[in-house]
Amino acid sequence: MIIALLPVSLMFLFANDLTQPTFLLKGITHFLIIWLISNTLAAVIGSSMGLLIKNKFSYLSSLIVYGFFVWVSSNIPIKPINKYLNIFDDNTYIVSNNLSGIIFNTDYFLDKLFIILIIFSFIFIVRIFLVPKKKIINSLILSILIVSIFSLPIWSNSNYQTVTFPTNQSMKNISYEIQEYNMNLELNNKLKNKATLKIGFLENSKDIVLALDNIFSVKNLKISNSPTSFTHNNNLINIPSTHKKGDVITLTIDYEGTVNMNNNIGFNTYYVAESAINLPGSVFDWYPNLRNQSSIDFEVTVNSSAKIYSNISSLSSEEEHLVGTANSLNIFAGQYQQAEVDGIQYIIPNSFTVNGFKSDLESIIKSMLGNKNFPEDDLLVLKDKKYKRVIVGIWPFGVSSSPVQIIGDTILVYYNQ
């Protein structure tokens, strides 16, 4: 443990001045947890093999068993079991997400608990052979440990969140539009939202279809304050409700869910935690929407312990009250720095320099201006710098081939460390 003080001291000494103390302490805590668990596992494996084999082959056996864990840890954590067997950092062999830092959530603690259960399993295997008088009780405890070891990955796999790619196929021939959003949003270790939508009907309609990711559980849904039936499948809410052309209704949805979605290589992509948030509403259905709709009026009250950034401006520095017009709502929080240059607000990772980022962004924009596949209006915004805000965020490669998204007067830039 004393040896661990050296790297911890170096972390404090060479920490980025922009790094918030919360993120630094979480990083150090994460390092100490990995240090203790990996070294304890090595010590238990070595002593267990020595006590059971009691000859020179115990050294070789110890190396083989511990080597298995090292080998598994060198693989990309595509599935939960890969993460559980990794005794080091899950991001050892992939680019880590420095925007979010370490997120201490249920998945994190279960991941560490898995190795702790393996450590105790080795201990009770030894006790079965060396303490024959308590063989029954030790066998019972070992059985419980083994069942727990197998149960954790099964449970995690059933609750593992992978990124889904929105499709507009089921949102065609929509005969209504969302005119206004009013949200009371809570973003801590869970996302909880009470969203009130003002919907206007352009034609007669027999139902309402809204996009909302399946990771969320809808607790309550009302039309004009009256509860109504609905189904929620395939990331779509279907509401059987007949309305005539010209009707305007108020629809209220209460829903919640844990957001911890990974891409195909285990990189955390969409997440909500106490200190880090990545909710790009332009590509992720984290609130009920019609996908690719034109500008809508938003009024959103956000309750979060983290300092949030959004494409919609806040009316107050103390209370996060977002009011504005846009075609999507995008909210971010984490290890960001904020700078204003030539009237443009840059919200970029702490690890970036403003001048370096500006130079990279100019190169990206220059390459886009020569590409005729982009909408002319978007190219005009980039060419004439008709944007007020630039925010770095994360989304899957398959959602957009462009590293830049234009949301009204805001540019979202893909995080590329």
Residue 170 structure tokens: 């089921």
Mean pLDDT for the stretch of residues 209-226: 94
- State residue 167's pLDDT score: 64
Q: Percentage of the chain surpassing pLDDT 90?
A: 56
- State residue 398's pLDDT score: 65
- State residue 388's pLDDT score: 92
What is d(CA 79, CA 77) in angstroms, rounded to the nearest whole number? Answer: 6
The residue among 297 and 367 whose pLDDT is bigger is 297
- State residue 102's pLDDT score: 87
DSSP secondary structure, 367-401, as one string: HHHT-TTS-HHHHHHHHTT--SEEEEE---TTT-S
At residue 2, does pLDDT exceed 70?
A: no
- State residue 168's pLDDT score: 61
- State residue 63's pLDDT score: 93
Residues 330-389 pLDDT 10s: 999 999 999 999 899 999 999 899 999 999 988 888 888 877 777 788 888 888 888 999
CB of 164 closer than 8 Å to CB of 286: no
CB of 365 closer than 8 Å to CB of 411: no
For the ranges 20-34, 113-127, 401-415, the maximum mean pLDDT occurs at: 113-127
The residue among 415 and 123 whose pLDDT is bigger is 123
At residue 412, does pLDDT exceed 70?
A: yes
- State residue 199's pLDDT score: 95
Tell me which residue of 277, 393, 308 sits closest to 406, measured CA to CA. Answer: 393
Q: How far apart are the first and last CA of the chain?
A: 32
- State residue 37's pLDDT score: 94
pLDDT grade, residue 288 (50/70/90)?
Answer: very high
Question: What is the spatial order of strands in the sheet that 320-326 belongs to?
Answer: 226-227, 217-223, 248-257, 191-201, 176-187, 296-304, 320-326
Mean pLDDT for the stretch of residues 199-205: 94
- State residue 95's pLDDT score: 64
Mean pLDDT for the stretch of residues 65-94: 80
At residue 253, does pLDDT exceed 90?
A: yes
**pTM score over 0.85:** yes
Mean pLDDT for the stretch of residues 163-178: 77
The residue among 187 and 56 whose pLDDT is bigger is 187
At residue 1, does pLDDT exceed 60?
A: no
